[in-house]
Structure 1
């Protein structure tokens, strides 16, 4: 399949998966990373505040104070994926917002990004790649983040994203291991992105509410969480709400109790599940969290939506965030890391 200027291009048809649903399954990834989290420190290196140990959203190192200036934390992350929508400009915006989100999820502000582009040069016109990059640059500009070049490869499957560097106050980080009993859980974007994107890939239907949600920066939510004194957060992406909730509860040594009736959904998400537009990544997420979750009497469709692989989802914050619904609370550790009510 080769696209030309005269042939309408559906970018999602050039990818085996879509967005964060194409991530390596969390269980398999943890097997690969097993033992690496305890790697010895770098001799003479700057202190590593956040690394592999808790599976947080980004790595964080501290820079010592110079000339009377306060110490700073450097936040580093990278994220890229296959097309999640057919429009190249929208795909670029979504991928950039998703990459920047890891910095916001740590309580930082992005300052510099470089592009990561894989492109099937014999299949897709470079005009489309330019639109992808333009979308990424526009979102970075909205975030006040410079884009300084990047790296590209000829690849049979298109992929795009960014490596992002941010700055943060080392004393005011948002971490996934800082939760404690008694804190409420807030979710800053509705769920259902995965099933709507899967429906878009299968049918070509466009869901404006999904695109608007994915391109929205998590900057304001991060700043609001910090202003309220929050210290624990993560973003909700490819492992679904249940997967990221399990990782947060496990890292913090608590149990997360989720009020399923309080979880916000995008319009059309439940219908997409009923019509069968559930990705393999979502089903793998659900299988991975099942041993750690007390599902109670939650119905099958809701379980799938709670495990739905999100792309550029919202922040899950242990604390109250103005305008965001409270969807549960953290309690002392019990038999399961996640309990549904």
Structure 2
């Protein structure tokens, strides 16, 4: 009797069991990454390169002409969930987010695929690719090519390409004193992924996790068109603490976060209390904690959430107070009801810092 592909899927290992880490928790810690990239800073930079690696921004931007610039980025990782279709959807959403974070409109994608061919059925691999393709269809872009390899761990993601008018380009390094900070999605994805890997995330929690990680950051281009929006990034693998600190350092300002105003996914506090914290959270904090000021009594649980890696996280926007209504409206138009004002931008008191109150 011949085993079918469907039978093979039922007997093959869980996707997350094949990976040493999952989602944006796989990222190399920011302190290590900066050291690895030090030599790249000496390479020649053409004047057409509007954004490179200097401020750890979300994508490279290359000016084509006075009204068009090419936005290029890539993002890929190991499974954060066991359902192959959901894994593909999450990875694709996360990769395209970096284009939106620059204020650009995506135009095409290339697939990046590494799969353990002897461990996973063809049906499972096809479901991962179909999940990614479904998000690209939702974003209105084709998968125009890519590259595949046979690898020890399953890896999937995209090279995402977009276009932006250079006048509307939004960097992570242009926040101004007096700006308010708006976060588009609640925190807690890393915590949920840790609970899932231990079999401790219920069906309701899983549904919330999938909903937030597969929600495209479509407000990006609309936000970029608002004159009072000065800076933008997306909160992903380094957590709110890391990406907020990058914005502070790039802008030469302090970012002040009102922790009580930061949205979090339902049930996150209980999951952290039960010990569901990713290893990446601790590595993140070890890399950049010296640049963050915490209030007295700030708990270990809150610190873990501050540095929690957000796979396919929300946009972090710095805008003038008078633009806040327009920013909220842009988020609302695209269904981001949980977008919240979480702080402000202050002049740097010394070296730029992230200050949590």
Provide the TM-score with structure 1 as the length reference: 0.94
Q: Structure 1 residues 270 and 225 mapped into 2: Cα distance closer, same or farther (>3 Å)? A: farther
1:331 aligns to 2:330 (yes or no): no
2:54 and 2:213 map into 1 onto residues whose CA distance is 28
The residue aligned with 1:340 is 356
CA drift at 1:224:
3.4
Residues in 2 aligned to 1:290 and 1:6: alpha-carbon distance in whole angstroms = 43
How far residue 334 of structure 1 moved from its aligned partner, in angstroms, is 1.7
The aligned counterpart of 1:14 is 18
* CA positional deviation for 1:204: 6.1
CA RMSD in angstroms comes to 1.5
Residue 24 (structure 1) aligns with: 28
Give the aligned partner of residue 300 of structure 1.
300
- Three-state SS of the structure 2 residue aligned to 1:167 is strand
Of 116, 124, 136, which residue of structure 1 is paired with 2:132?
A: 136
Aligned to 1:311: 311
TM-score with structure 2 length normalisation? 0.89
Deviation at 1:144, TM superposition (A): 1.0
Match of 2:153 among 157, 160, 180: 157
The match for 2:37 among 33, 36, 56 is: 33
Cα distance in structure 2, aligned partners of 1:204 and 1:116: 30
Q: Which one is further off, 306-315 or 219-228?
A: 219-228
- The residue correspondences of 1:1-341 to structure 2 (distance < 5 A) are 4-7=8-11, 9-42=13-46, 47-64=48-65, 71-203=67-199, 205=201, 206=203, 207-227=206-226, 229-297=228-296, 298-319=298-319, 320=324, 321-322=327-328, 323=332, 324-335=339-350, 337-341=353-357
8 Å contact from structure 2 (residues 12, 121) kept in 1: no
How far apart, in 2, do the equivalents of 1:233 and 1:38 lie?
A: 26
Residues 38 and 53, structure 1, Cα contact 8 Å, conserved in 2: no
What is the CA-CA distance between 1:8 and the residue it aligns to? 6.1
Distance in 2 of aligned mates of 1:301 and 1:54: 29
Contact 1:37–1:51 (Cα < 8 Å) also in 2: no
Q: Which moved more, 1:313-322 or 1:185-194?
A: 313-322
Alignment CA distance shift 1:120-1:208 (3 Å): same
Aligned to 1:67: none
Distance in 1 (CA, whole Å) between partners of 2:9 and 2:133 is: 24
Give SS of 2:175's match.
Answer: coil
Q: 1:204 & 1:158 partners in 2: Cα distance?
A: 23
| 3-state SS in 2 of match to 1:232 | strand
The worse-fitting range, judged by mean Cα deviation, of 9-18 and 255-264 is 9-18
Structure 2 residue runs of 5 or longer lacking an equivalent are: 1-6, 333-338
What's the offset of the Cα at 1:9?
Answer: 4.5
C-alpha contact 1:173 1:231 (8 A) present in aligned 2: no
CA distance in 2, matches of 1:209, 1:164: 25
Aligned length: 331
Alignment gaps of 5+ in structure 1: 65-69
User: Which secondary structure does the structure 1 equivalent of 2:225 belong to?
Assistant: helix
CA distance in 2, matches of 1:327, 1:312: 19
Secondary structure of 2:229's partner? coil
